[in-house]
Amino acid sequence: MELSAGIDWISVTFPALFPGRWRSCIHPADTETKRQIKPRNGYSQATVYASGATQSTNDSRPDMGIHIVYSARAIGNMETMYGVDQKQLLQHLTNGSKMTRLDVRIDVFDSGLDIEKLYQMARSGQVETKARTIGFTESATTGSERGAATCYIGSQKKRKKLLRVYDKGSQLGLLVDLKRFELELHSGATPEAVKRLKTANLGDWGEHIGGLIKGYCYWPDDNAVADIFADMSKIKIAVPEEDTGNTIKWLLNVVAPVLAREAAMDSSLIVEFMHRVMEELDARDAIDNRGAGQ
**Long-range CB contact pairs, 220-224, < 8 A, 24+:** 220/121, 220/126, 220/127, 223/118, 223/121, 223/126, 223/127, 224/111, 224/112, 224/113, 224/114, 224/118
How sure is the predictor about 23, in pLDDT bands with cuts at 50, 70 and 90? low
How sure is the predictor about 20, in pLDDT bands with cuts at 50, 70 and 90? low
* 240 in Cβ contact with 8 (< 8 Å): yes
Percent of the chain residues topping a pLDDT of 70: 78
Identity of the amino acid at 168: K
Cα gap 21→168, rounded to integer Å = 36
What's the pLDDT at 190? 92
* pLDDT at position 100 over 60: yes
SS3 78: helix
Tell me the average pLDDT of the chain: 79
Residue with the bigger pLDDT between 289 and 86: it is: 86
Query: Cβ atoms within 10 A of the Cβ of 29, count?
Result: 8
Query: Cβ atoms within 10 A of the Cβ of 204, count?
Result: 14
Packing angle of the helix pair 191-198, 86-93 (nearest 10 deg): 130
What's the pLDDT at 24? 56
CA 228 to each of CA 115, 151, 214: distance values in angstroms, whole numbers, following the listed order: 14, 16, 10
Looking at the DSSP assignment, which residues form a beta bridge with residue 181?
A: 106, 165
Cα gap 93→131, rounded to integer Å = 29
* pLDDT at position 149 over 80: yes
How sure is the predictor about 243, in pLDDT bands with cuts at 50, 70 and 90? very low
Cα gap 3→214, rounded to integer Å = 14
* pLDDT at position 293 over 70: no
Contacts of 227 (CB under 8 A, 6+ apart): 1, 111
Most confident by average pLDDT, 52-61, 129-138, 250-259: 52-61
SS3 124: coil
Q: How many CA atoms lie within 13 A of 245 on its CB side?
A: 11
What's the pLDDT at 101? 95
Write down the pTM of the prediction.
0.76
In terms of DSSP bridges, do strands 98-109 and 2-14 run parallel, antiparallel, or are they unpaired? Answer: antiparallel
- Stated length of the chain: 294
Least confident range from 108-117, 153-162, 169-178, 284-293: namely 284-293
* pLDDT at position 26 over 70: no
Of 205, 3, 178, 185, the C-alpha closest to 91 is 205
Query: Cβ atoms within 10 A of the Cβ of 275, count?
Result: 10
Cα gap 137→126, rounded to integer Å = 19
Q: Give the phi and the psi of residue 98 in degrees, each rounded to 5.
A: -110, 120
pLDDT tens digit string along 254-267? 667 667 777 777 77
How sure is the predictor about 294, in pLDDT bands with cuts at 50, 70 and 90? very low
What's the pLDDT at 292? 47
End-to-end alpha-carbon separation of the chain, Å? Answer: 50
Contacts of 231 (CB under 8 A, 6+ apart): none
* pLDDT at position 143 over 50: no
What's the pLDDT at 265? 78
Least confident range from 172-181, 210-219, 230-239, 253-262: namely 253-262
